[in-house]
Structure 1
Amino acid sequence: MSRGTQNLVLLLVGLSTAVMLVKGTYLNYVKPGLLPWLIAAAAVLVILGLAAVVRDLRHAAGDPDPGHDEHEGHDSHHDSHHDGHRHQPWLAWLLLIPIAMVAFVVPPPLDARGASPQAAVSTPHRRPFPPLPPGPAPVVSLPETVMRAAADSTNSLDGRSITLTGFSLHHAGGVDLGRVVIVCCAADAQLARIHLTGPGLDAAKGFPDDTWLRILGQIVPGSAQAVDGFIPTMSVESVTQIDKPKNTYAY
């Protein structure tokens, strides 16, 4: 790969990153807290790429014998031709195609099929969690609900109606409410889920997989057991279909 191509690749990577930041599609790959670092990385890449391109243009303009490079390049190409076509510069330009496409053809965020199943966990250390927000049915994130059900020594979920959002997951035993959880980026994504039961179960079963739902209900006390990977069960009181959120990950 020639130096000019290398500089162009560097510039395109920076510009593609900047486009994803402006469009917000970076959230398909990483958590929002990394935004300042991505802005800094995109700025550095663009500045370095532009500086290198400008430097090469100035160098080319100041070359007293441009034909020398052309002749040398011709000889080099002639030699490489007789050495079995070892150098094929056009192949390097193919690298620019996927780099440019990243900014405009954005893969969708991971869903249940793309995330790793919930990892096997040992018995969690029980500890007190902060009280739930006030109100008759406060909104609680699905991952927090899973953690509270398995490890909250205050049993703050017992007897409390809460509101969860996630997507439907059908399986042989019924239907779950799921959410893809990432710690840093999509590479470490895992699937958190809650089994559904109770009077609202039939309503939840009526929605196809990957339908986003808002569910009101109560976690069944003691349902998060080691035999099932500490996945709790919720007794569903009501189910409402909602639009797919712009950012589908939980953190």
Structure 2
Amino acid sequence: MVAAVNRVTQNLVLTLLGCAVLQISAFSTTYLNYVKPGFRPFLIGAGVVLVVLGIIGLVQSFRQKEASSGSDGETPAREPASYDLVPQGSAHGGSGVPASYDLASQGSAHGGSGDPAPWDGRAPGGEDHAHGHDHAHGGPRIAWLMCLPVFAIFLIAPPALGSFAASRDDTPAPRSQVLSAFTPLTGDGAVDMPISEFIGRAWDDDKKSLTDREVRLTGFVVPAKKKGQWYVTRMQIACCAADAFPLKVAVRGIEPPPTDTWVEVTGTWVPQTFGKMPNGVIYPQLSGRSLAKVAAPDEPYE
């Protein structure tokens, strides 16, 4: 019985885990907080497999439990004791008195005493069965604690990485484009641009295409140690949130909103010249002209 309870618990957790995966991938965009969009079909497939395997396991566990309960409920019938007529003395002893007989039970529990074994009203082996039945009801109740992580996914799904992760990781982003591989900026007005592209054009564009061009960057606010500036930031991932690193642009000339606020900031690139390359990570700068608060995008990573 204990093994059956363990199987029920395991299969139930498996089913709930599959439902949680489907909830964040098939019925919402929450999965984008953890992985890139291309992983959605794989997550949906994995969720379906988990649910199917869990349901099959639950059905088999309940069937085995019913079969076990049916066999335990059958009580074997007690066979009546058989007796032999054992003569006391000779039947032809010459006395003329017929011989007397004893009723001797076969299989008596008391050897040759002739008394039948006492019966306490329970079927043979009933004591052992009752003892095992008490243990079966004990069950591993603590196993249900395995469900807590699954419920946490439903109730308190972790958000996307924000300013805490960005402020702790100052590793410079690797170059995603080769030198002079940027297309010319066309059109009038502010150009919507990913932060990764702005960083690439600021450092690696030989044609200086950002010069005097107004751009619009979208990201969340991260405070800076240097007074008078803050960072508009996006996290970039290659596979999942575990390998994320921050892309930061230092904003000057605009008061910073609260930390982790998503904003659209419009401004122009500030060229930087160095007589000697300073130590540490240097972020490109933007002279801010306007700022607007926006809702966090469904896809928070670049």
TM-score bracket, normalised by the shorter chain, equals 0.7 to 0.9
Question: Corresponding residue for 1:5?
Answer: 9
Instruction: Identify the match of residue 160 of structure 2 among 109, 134, 144.
Output: 109
Q: TM-score, normalised by structure 2?
A: 0.67
RMSD, aligned CA: 3.2
1:21-170 to structure 2, matched below 5 A, reads: 21=25, 22-63=27-68, 64-66=70-72, 75=132, 89-115=140-166, 116-120=168-172, 126-136=178-188, 137-170=190-223
Letter in 1 for 2:218: T
Q: Mean Cα displacement is larger for which, 49-58 or 223-232?
A: 223-232
Report matched runs for 1:173-188 at 5 Å: 173=226, 174-188=229-243
Other-structure match for 1:195: 250
Name the CA distance, whole Å, in 2 between partners of 1:108 and 1:73: 52
- Seen in structure 2, the aligned counterparts of structure 1 residues 33 and 124 have a Cα distance that, compared at 3 Å, is closer
Q: Structure 2: any 5+ residue segments left out of the alignment?
A: 75-127
**Partners in 2 of 1:130 and 1:53 — Cα distance?**
57
Deviations for 1:183-207, whole angstroms, at most 9, x for unmatched residues?
Answer: 222222222111123xxx1xx2152
The size of the alignment, in residue pairs, is: 236
Query: Which amino acid is 1:130 matched to?
Result: F
Whether the 8 Å CA contact 1:17–1:42 is kept in 2: the answer is: yes
- TM-score of the superposition, structure 1-length normalised? 0.79
Distance 1:114 1:32 in 2: 21
- Residue identity matched to 1:193: K
Which structure has greater helix proportion? Answer: 1
1:88-134 deviation line (CA, Å, top 9, x unaligned):
71221111122123112222222111344231468998522231553
Q: Give a deviation string over 1:57-99, Cα, whole Å, max 9, x none.
A: 233334452469xx78964985xxxxxxxx9712211111221
Tell me which moved more, 117-126 or 100-109.
117-126
Shift in Å, 1:32: 1.8
Higher relative contact order (CA 8 A, sep 6+): 1
Describe the shift of the 1:77–1:121 C-alpha distance in structure 2 as closer, same or farther (beyond 3 A). Answer: farther
The secondary structure found in structure 1 opposite 2:165 is coil
Tell me how far apart the structure 2 counterparts of residues 188 and 65 of structure 1 sit (CA, whole Å).
55
Question: Aligned residue for 2:80?
Answer: none
- In structure 1, stretches of 5+ residues that fail to align are 79-86
Counterpart of 1:208 in structure 2 is 258
Contact 2:270 2:284 in 1 (8 A): yes
- The CA distance in 2 between the partners of 1:172 and 1:62, in whole Å, is 69
Distance in 2, matches of 1:125 and 1:33, equals: 21
Q: Which of 18, 21, 24 matches 1:17? A: 21
* Identical aligned residues as a percent: 30
Query: Which letter maps to 1:60?
Result: K
